[in-house]
């Protein structure tokens, strides 16, 4: 079984993540931000919860998003907690596959999918979301959305094909909720967490995606 190259390639950004590690439900988790605040749950891609780019991005979200939380004793304060759980049961795909075509070719996608596919891991994702008193949605649940929604969509994404892109565009505007669709022409799956910072176009794309998410969180998570 083949895997799209955009799923296995990218660039490490450098920098030092500042989150702490604990547990959420039964999963290890990296946490950035103020405990018991508004929460964001990140579901990682193939490079897992230890991928430094993703941990750096989680840190940016926690630092730059100011969500309003009310304490009965002294009124509102502003905080966001970003949770990045491990949904691969400690299995780590090394970022050395970024620039090593032989390692990419040798990657056992079928075995990896059998170990970590949706049927196996989705119950863990739901348990983590439940622990945060959150709610996850699938495509067939889009019709029940009642909160503002943002979608950051690259031009090329084998996991987000044109049919899937069109469904929320048709359905969400009929729901009477605020909806934001940000399109990134010329970009591919993973651009927002694995773009090359020394490439002007990729750097601008990943920075715009981060800013878009931060602005959305700041506007609606209060």
Q: Which domain holds residue 55?
A: 5-220
For residue 161, the SS3 value is coil
Range of lowest pLDDT (95-99, 103-107, 204-208): 95-99
* Position 205 pLDDT exceeds 60: yes
What's residue 94's pLDDT?
A: 79
**Beta bridge mates, 31:** 20, 83
Mean pLDDT of 151-165: 77
The residues, any chain, with a CB within 8 Å of residue 171's CB and separated by 6 or more, are 142, 143
Across-strand partners of 23?
Answer: 28
Per the structure, the count of domains in the chain is 1
One-letter-per-residue 3-state SS of 17-53: CCCEEEEECCEEEEEEECCCCEEEECCCCCCCCCCHH
What is the model's pLDDT at position 62? 83
Q: What is the CATH number of the domain that holds 60?
A: 3.40.50.1820
pLDDT of residue 175: 93
What burial class does residue 38 get, using C-beta atoms within 10 Å of its C-beta: 0-12 exposed, 13-18 middle, 19+ buried? Answer: buried
pTM of the model: 0.55
pLDDT, greater one: 214 or 33: 214
Name the band, by pLDDT with cuts 50, 70 and 90, for residue 107: confident
The pLDDT of 73-81, averaged and rounded, is 56
Average pLDDT over residues 30-40: 76
Per-residue confidence (pLDDT) for residue 65, from 0 to 100: 79
Q: What is the pLDDT of residue 13?
A: 67
Average pLDDT of span 176-185: 93
Q: Are 82 and 58 in contact (CB under 8 A)?
A: yes
**Dihedral sign, Cα of residue 121, residue 127, residue 133, residue 138:** positive
Write the pLDDT tens digit of every residue in 128-153.
888 876 433 456 677 888 889 999 98
């Amino acid at each position: 079984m083949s895997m799209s190259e955009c799923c296995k390639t990218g660039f490490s950004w450098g920098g030092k993540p500042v989150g702490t590690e604990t547990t959420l439900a039964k999963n290890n988790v990296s946490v950035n931000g103020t405990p018991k605040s508004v929460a964001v749950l990140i579901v990682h891609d193939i490079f897992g919860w230890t991928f430094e780019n993703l941990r750096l991005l989680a840190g940016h979200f926690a630092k730059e998003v100011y969500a309003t939380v009310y304490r009965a004793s002294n009124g509102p304060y502003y905080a966001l907690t970003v949770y990045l759980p491990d949904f691969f049961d400690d299995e780590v795909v090394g970022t050395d596959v970024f620039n090593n075509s032989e390692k990419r070719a040798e990657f056992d996608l079928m075995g990896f999918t059998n170990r970590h596919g949706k049927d196996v891991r989705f119950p863990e994702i739901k348990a983590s979301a439940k622990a945060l008193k959150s709610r996850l949605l699938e495509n067939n649940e889009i019709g029940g959305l009642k909160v503002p929604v943002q979608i950051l969509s690259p031009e090329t994404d084998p996991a987000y094909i044109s049919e899937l892109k069109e469904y929320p565009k048709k359905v969400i505007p009929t729901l009477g909720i605020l909806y934001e669709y940000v399109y990134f022409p010329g970009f591919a799956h993973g651009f927002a967490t694995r773009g090359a910072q020394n490439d002007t176009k990729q750097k601008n794309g990943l920075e715009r995606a981060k800013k878009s998410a931060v602005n959305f969180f700041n506007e609606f998570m209060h």
